[in-house]
């Protein structure tokens, strides 16, 4: 996120030169999406987040992705996936009825550029691994 804020994230497929105004703008968009989710308990738009696996989600801005998960901050993590049936939603009236109720802390994991329709399994597995290590550290 620091490199993105500075317009210097070289993994960006559209990266040209430093500073990249597009990256700086995308950084602001990520912050907005993250803040909205933290304040409202759900994304502003369906396209803001995507469920990956094992309780790990991603924020999406253009061709950039940042993985995240939720935790209570005390070493507990109950991985939450996308709600598949509106009848199981705690808020079936919401346009984002499929988004689960998250724990109090949302933690960022790793980031990657979008280069295909699906996230690279290696990036997703790395995110899951980081989340597990993070929760384990909280519990110590």
pLDDT digits (tens), the chain, 140 positions: 999 999 999 888 878 878 889 999 999 999 999 999 999 999 999 999 999 999 999 999 999 999 999 998 888 889 999 999 999 999 999 999 999 999 999 999 999 998 888 888 999 999 999 999 998 887 76
For the chain, the domain total comes to 1
Domain that holds residue 133: 2-138
Q: How would DSSP label each residue in 17-48?
A: SSS-HHHHHHHHHHHHHHHHHHHHSS-SSGGG
Residue 81: cis peptide before it, omega within 30 degrees of 0: no
Structure tokens at 5: 């804020």
């Amino acid at each position: 996120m620091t490199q993105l804020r500075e317009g210097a994230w070289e993994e960006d497929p559209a990266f040209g030169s430093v500073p990249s105004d597009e990256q700086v703008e995308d950084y602001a968009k990520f912050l907005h999406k993250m803040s909205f989710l933290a304040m409202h308990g759900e994304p502003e738009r369906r396209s803001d987040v995507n469920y990956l696996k094992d309780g790990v989600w991603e924020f999406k801005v253009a061709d950039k992705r940042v993985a995240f998960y939720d935790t209570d901050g005390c070493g507990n993590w109950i991985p939450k996936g996308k709600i598949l049936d509106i009848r199981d939603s705690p808020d079936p009236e919401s346009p984002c009825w499929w988004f689960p109720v998250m724990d109090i802390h949302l933690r960022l994991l790793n980031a990657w550029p979008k280069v295909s329709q699906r996230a690279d399994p290696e990036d997703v597995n790395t995110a899951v691994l980081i989340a597990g290590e993070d929760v384990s550290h909280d519990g110590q």
